[in-house]
Structure 1
């Protein structure tokens, strides 16, 4: 069986996770090339993972053009997402790119047009499609286990940005690099999970806030204005009339990486969370007409990894639910509607 030679672009925090996932996926993947603008990161990661010096690229375009690279994994800040995707499409190189698809919807439109002209196997890194509890929730919803779904609530909370920590101004707070703040970083995952479970967004209203307006420069200590959101909430009407309520924040003290959803159907409720990814809670009517609450173990069939889907895509047998370019594009369209709804204080159609 073919071993796919991988080129990794971006050697920051998420890159370490991708390197680990590649290793866990087995011998079908081989990391042979890396790219980053930081020469120290290139040298350190290159030495650690035995990457030949000739395969350590300062320019990502050279890695994409390398004929020895079978597929690209991109784990960079948002400001280069569009350029990397464009280069992969133009080179006909299969890829997995981190979310969000682009900084804004304007960057997404020409990429979709190029993809439709020159399609290549492509995957967008909506990793929470691979949380076992979320996948099992999808299965139960589709099987009608709680009857017709009427509404749901979703939240994605982190605490590292809270005022008590006096966190510095990092790239995730820089509008030129990130586009939006909490919305693009965390909210994009909530949007994708909702689409994965229920279908398309139809219309929504929203509020985006910057709770902490200034943060210290990590080098000088001088205060820098924050121009992106660190809190967002929105409510949406989705396909089939399902209503959803969403909130996301980096200022939730005590929340490490808390992404969860509660789904309300005619005959019961499902609650699933990253805090216990191998179980979910199911509330249904019991035999005596009361309500039973049970913690249900997720079956092994729902324990699919992101890289097993990536491998299936490269093998030419993509699976149901693999997040592709259209998912990235539609996710960006929803985020654009959220920004407009917040700015205009109105209900916006997606």
Structure 2
């Protein structure tokens, strides 16, 4: 799409994630324009379009995908429909950004990635932490060898069940047919993808996943351990039935440690032989802003985006390996 002055986007699935996190970022990014949105509920699609100043709205995905005024498509529907819509976008010959995770399984993710690769079409996935300054600071410290040789990374993420979990009301995030590992699919993918970006691809991965609480059909307690291709070891525990919420990543090196949170608003902390440095780096109001700006730069041929179909496919492989699905 090099040489094009304005890239016109259509959004499939204008739900909560698009209200503040992502949708406005596409509208505010110079060179981008959101010209159409789609939601199966026609009234909600019309309401979203009116509130966000979007000229077209649909209740049919095919109509948006094949709209000649739409140059590229952002898929923001629940994960179980990502493959269906992404394959249609590939068939239409349009660039695409898919919300994370790319699909509920590695097999589906591979099918999506191959469809776009076969047509040489740009494919991105919304692992936006690869573009956020807070985590780029961690990468800067690692690249500068501030903690010496990296030895090990560990992440613990725990949270108590919420009111929806306890009530038994339907929640697609914990429906095994949509997200087999529940909140792990929704949350852990962000961190595991970031670890590949910070420390290199994973070489071998294994894990255990169970349902401890019996509140819903998806898994709720997962542990994993892995080896990066460069010899760094890693481990993680994700439990969605703990008493309190806790989110801590620690990267241990031969001469220090880096600590940070994937989701909490917390400092990034560098501790080494010389000192301890604590930095609080704000996220932008629209948290996908830098991710979306990087989409523009990639599509215009100015730089490569850090989160592509290829990198997200690797994350899907890691996820399925921890869950024992491969």
Following the alignment from structure 1 to structure 2, what is the Cα–Cα distance between the partners of residues 56 and 42?
Answer: 6
Partner of 1:240: helix, strand, or coil? coil
Following the alignment from structure 2 to structure 1, what is the Cα–Cα distance between the partners of residues 63 and 268?
Answer: 45
Q: Report if the CA contact (8 A) 1:186-1:248 is conserved.
A: no
Alignment of 1:317-336 (within 5 A): 317-319=302-304, 322-336=306-320
C-alpha displacement at 1:253, in angstroms? 4.6
Q: Report if the CA contact (8 A) 2:223-2:322 is conserved.
A: no
1:19 is matched with 23
Distance 1:164 1:36, change over 3 A: closer
2:254 is matched with 266
C-alpha displacement at 1:98, in angstroms? 0.3
| 1:311 counterpart (293, 296, 311) | 296
Distance 1:174 1:80, change over 3 A: same
TM-score (norm 1): 0.82
Unaligned 5+ segments in structure 1 are 215-225, 287-291, 342-347
Following the alignment from structure 1 to structure 2, what is the Cα–Cα distance between the partners of residues 104 and 138?
Answer: 28
1:36 is matched with 39
Distance 1:231 1:161, change over 3 A: farther
| 1:8 counterpart (11, 14, 25) | 11
C-alpha displacement at 1:163, in angstroms? 9.0
C-alpha displacement at 1:167, in angstroms? 5.9
Following the alignment from structure 1 to structure 2, what is the Cα–Cα distance between the partners of residues 95 and 156?
Answer: 30
C-alpha displacement at 1:171, in angstroms? 0.8
TM-score (norm 2): 0.88
Q: Does 1:294 align with 2:277?
A: yes
Q: Does 1:143 align with 2:144?
A: yes
Following the alignment from structure 1 to structure 2, what is the Cα–Cα distance between the partners of residues 90 and 99?
Answer: 21
1:208 is matched with 209
1:247 is matched with 237
Following the alignment from structure 2 to structure 1, what is the Cα–Cα distance between the partners of residues 273 and 58?
Answer: 59
Alignment of 1:122-201 (within 5 A): 122-159=123-160, 161=162, 166=167, 168-201=169-202
Structure number with greater Rg is 1
Partner of 1:206: helix, strand, or coil? strand
The alignment's C-alpha RMSD in Å is 2.6
Unaligned 5+ segments in structure 2 are none
Q: Report if the CA contact (8 A) 1:188-1:331 is conserved.
A: yes
C-alpha displacement at 1:299, in angstroms? 11
Partner of 1:144: helix, strand, or coil? coil
Question: In the TM superposition, what whole-angstrom CA distance separates every residue of 1:146-188 from its partner, at most 9, and x where no partner exists?
Answer: 1110001123444453799546331112122223312211121
Question: In the TM superposition, what whole-angstrom CA distance separates every residue of 1:108-139 from its partner, at most 9, and x where no partner exists?
Answer: 23223322211212210112223322211112
Following the alignment from structure 2 to structure 1, what is the Cα–Cα distance between the partners of residues 51 and 279?
Answer: 41
More displaced stretch, 99-108 vs 310-319: 310-319
Alignment of 1:79-90 (within 5 A): 79-90=80-91
Following the alignment from structure 1 to structure 2, what is the Cα–Cα distance between the partners of residues 253 and 49?
Answer: 39
Q: Report if the CA contact (8 A) 1:206-1:234 is conserved.
A: yes
Partner of 2:230: helix, strand, or coil? helix
Q: Does 1:337 align with 2:325?
A: no
Q: Report if the CA contact (8 A) 2:158-2:244 is conserved.
A: no
Following the alignment from structure 2 to structure 1, what is the Cα–Cα distance between the partners of residues 75 and 98?
Answer: 5
1:275 is matched with 264
Q: Report if the CA contact (8 A) 2:29-2:292 is conserved.
A: no
